[in-house]
Chains A and B, each alone.
Chain A
Amino acid sequence: MQKTAYGAFSQSRKCMIKIILIMKMTAFLLIVGCLHVGAKGFSQKISLSLKNAPLEEVFQKIETQTGYGFIYAKEQLTKMKPVDLYFVKAELRTVLETVFKDQVFSYTISGENIIIKEKPESKVEQEYFEQAPPYIVTGRIVNEEGKPLEGVSVVIKNSKTGVSTNGEGRFSIEVAPGSNVLVITYVGLESREIKVSGATILNITMKPDEAESREVVVVGYGGVRKSDLTGSVSSVKSKDLTAYPATNAVQALQGRAAGVLVQANNGNPGGGFKIRVRGGTSVNASSDPIFVVDGFAGALLPPPEDIESMEILKDASATAIYGSRGANGVILITTKRGKAGKPKIDINSSYSTQTEINRLDLLNAAEFAELIKEVNPSYTPGTANTNWQDLIFNKGNIQNHQLSFSGGNDAVHYYISGAYFDQKGVITNSSFRRFSITSNLDFNATSWLKVGLNLFTQSNTETGVITQEASGGSIGTGVVAGAFKFGPDQPVLKPDGTYSIAVVGDPFDNPVATAVERQNEEVGDRLQYNLYADFSILKGLKFKTTFGSFINNERNGLFTPTTLNAGRNVGGAATVSARKVKSFINENFLTYTKQFNTKHTFSALGGVSYQKFINESFGANSQSFLSNSVSFWNLGGGSVSLPGNSALTESTLASAYARLNYNFSDKYLLTFNGRYDGSSNFSKNNKWAFFPSAALAWNMHNEQFMNRVDFISSFKWRLSYGLTGNQAISPYQTLARFSPVFTVLNGAAVNAVRPTTIANDNLKWETTAQQNIGVDIGIFKGRVNVTADYYISKTSDLLFNVQLPQYSGYTTQLKNIGKIENKGFEFAINTKNLVGKFQWNTDFNISFNRNKVVELPGGNDIIYAFAPGHMVGISNSAQVLRVGQPVGSFFGWQYNGVYQQGATFIPGAGFEQVVGGESFRDISGKKDATGKPLNEPDGLLNGDDRTVIGNPNPDFIWGLNNDFNFHNFDLNIFFQGSQGNDLLSYTLLELETLSAINNSTKVALNRWTPANTNTNVPKVATGRPQRVSSRWIFDGSYIRLKNLALGYSLPANFMKRVKVQRVRMYISAQNILTFTDYRGYDPEVNYRNANLNAGVDYGSYPNAISYTAGLNITF
Chain B
Amino acid sequence: MAAIPMQYLTLQASTLPFNHVIKKLVMKYSLIIFLALLINSLLPGCKKTLEEEPVGLLSPEGFYKSKRDVESAIFGAYGMLASETLFGRQYVSAIGLRDDMSDIGNRGTTAERIQVNDFKMDATNGMVRLFWPTWYQVISAVNSAEFGAKSINLTETELNPLLAEIKFVRALSYFHLVRVFGDIPYIDKFISNPDDVKSISKTKEAEVYTKIIAELEYAKQWLPDRQPSDIRTRPSKATAASYLAAVYLTLGDHQKAYTEAKWVIDKRATYNYSLEPDFQNLFRAELANGLKETVFAVDFLGRINVGNNNDDLNGSMTGIRNTPQNGFGVIVPSLATFNTWNALDYRRKVSFEDSTLNAAGVLIPFTAYPNEKRPHIAKWRRFPGNANTDGRYSDHNYADMRYAEVLLIAAEALTEISGPTQEAIDYINQVRTRARNWPGRASTFPANLALAGLTKAQLIDLVMDERKFELAFEWKRWFDIKRRKLGDILFKGPNSLEPQPTFDATRDYLMPLPQTELEINPNLKPQNPGY
Contacts and interface: CB of A to CB of B under 8 A. Distances in A.
A569 B82 contact: no
B114 A910 contact: yes
Nearest to A501: B322
B519 to A, nearest CB: 6
B26 interface: no
Nearest to B143: A809
Contacts of A749: 301, 304
Nearest to A998: B108
A753 B79 CA distance: 9
A741 B187 contact: no
Contacts of B57: 732, 735, 737
Given A545-B39, A758-B192, A804 B2 contact: no
Interface stretch (A35-43, A184-192, A548-556, A1066-1074): A184-192
A162 B8 CA distance: 13
B78 interface: yes
A565 B309 contact: no
A943 B516 CA distance: 13
Contact of A25 (B1, B5, B521): B5
B362 interface: no
B28 interface: yes
**Interface extent on A, as a size class?**
35 or more
A914 to B, nearest CB: 14
B112 A742 contact: no
B2 A608 contact: no
B301 A744 contact: yes
B444 interface: no
Contacts of B59: 735-738
Contacts of B516: 803, 806
A808 B143 CA distance: 10
Contacts of B54: 648-649, 731-732, 735
A2 interface: no
A507 interface: yes
A189 to B, nearest CB: 9
A741 B115 contact: no
A807 interface: yes
Contacts of A1103: none
Interface string B150-177: 0000000000000000000000000000
B430 interface: no
Given A646-B56, A745-B299, A754 B517 contact: no
A746 to B, nearest CB: 5
Given A735-B59, A744-B82, A680 B303 contact: no
Interface stretch (A92-100, A215-223, A831-839, A870-878): A870-878
Contact of A746 (B107, B115, B140, B229): B229
B206 interface: no
Interface string B110-128: 1110110010111110100
A996 B108 contact: yes
Interface stretch (B44-52, B244-252, B374-382, B456-464): B44-52
Contact of A155 (B2, B12, B27, B129): B2
A805 interface: yes
A734 B56 CA distance: 16
A473 B187 CA distance: 37
A185 B57 CA distance: 65
A860 B519 CA distance: 8
Interface in A1-48: 17, 21, 24-25, 27-28, 31
B300 A743 contact: no
A753 B114 CA distance: 35
A447 B322 contact: no
Contacts of B191: 808-810
B39 A411 contact: no
Given A444-B4, A752-B79, A755-B144, A809 B108 contact: no
B176 to A, nearest CB: 14
Interface stretch (B211-219, B350-358, B388-396): B388-396
B440 interface: no
B60 A808 contact: no
B108 to A, nearest CB: 5
Nearest to A759: B192
A808 B187 contact: yes
B409 interface: no
Interface string A563-597: 00100111000000000000000101000000000
Nearest to A741: B79
B309 A742 contact: yes
Nearest to B187: A807
B124 to A, nearest CB: 5
Contacts of B515: 943
Contacts of B194: 758, 804-805, 808, 810, 813
Given A875-B111, A909-B121, A809 B43 contact: no
Contacts of B300: 744
Interface string A793-822: 000000000011111111101000000000
A980 interface: no
B306 interface: yes
Given A569-B388, A746-B299, A747-B299, A809 B5 contact: no
Given A746-B299, A807-B517, A503 B137 contact: no
Interface in B210-237: 229, 231, 233-234
Which of B115, B144, B191, B234 has the most chain A CB atoms closer than 10 A to its own CB?
B191
Most chain A CB within 10 A, of B49, B52, B78, B229, is at B52
Contact of A569 (B28, B115, B309, B392): B392
A24 B231 contact: no
A214 to B, nearest CB: 15
A185 B2 contact: yes
B112 A743 contact: no
A930 B52 CA distance: 49
Nearest to A645: B306
B62 to A, nearest CB: 11
B183 to A, nearest CB: 12
A610 interface: yes
Interface stretch (B68-76, B338-346, B400-408): B68-76
Interface in A687-701: 687
Contacts of B328: 473-474, 506
B115 A910 contact: yes
Contact of B79 (A24, A743, A809, A877): A743
A411 B5 CA distance: 10
Given A569-B389, A741-B80, A744-B301, A809 B60 contact: no
B50 A648 contact: no
Nearest to B186: A807
Nearest to B514: A806
Contacts of B2: 24, 27-28, 31, 153, 155, 162, 185
A739 interface: yes
Contact of A448 (B24, B72, B310): B24
B107 A447 contact: no
Interface in B314-353: 321-322, 326, 328
A654 B49 contact: yes
B125 to A, nearest CB: 8
A50 interface: no
A872 B197 contact: no
Interface string B57-96: 1111101000000001101111110100000000000000
B6 A643 contact: no
A806 B131 CA distance: 11
A537 interface: yes
A139 B517 CA distance: 90
Contacts of A608: 39, 43
A24 B1 CA distance: 10
Given A654-B46, A745-B75, A746-B229, 16 more contacts: A160-B8, A507-B322, A537-B32, A588-B35, A648-B55, A752-B72, A752-B75, A755-B60, A755-B144, A807-B132, A809-B191, A860-B519, A876-B126, A931-B525, A995-B108, A997-B108
7 contacts: A410-B4, A447-B7, A565-B390, A678-B50, A680-B51, A738-B59, A807-B197
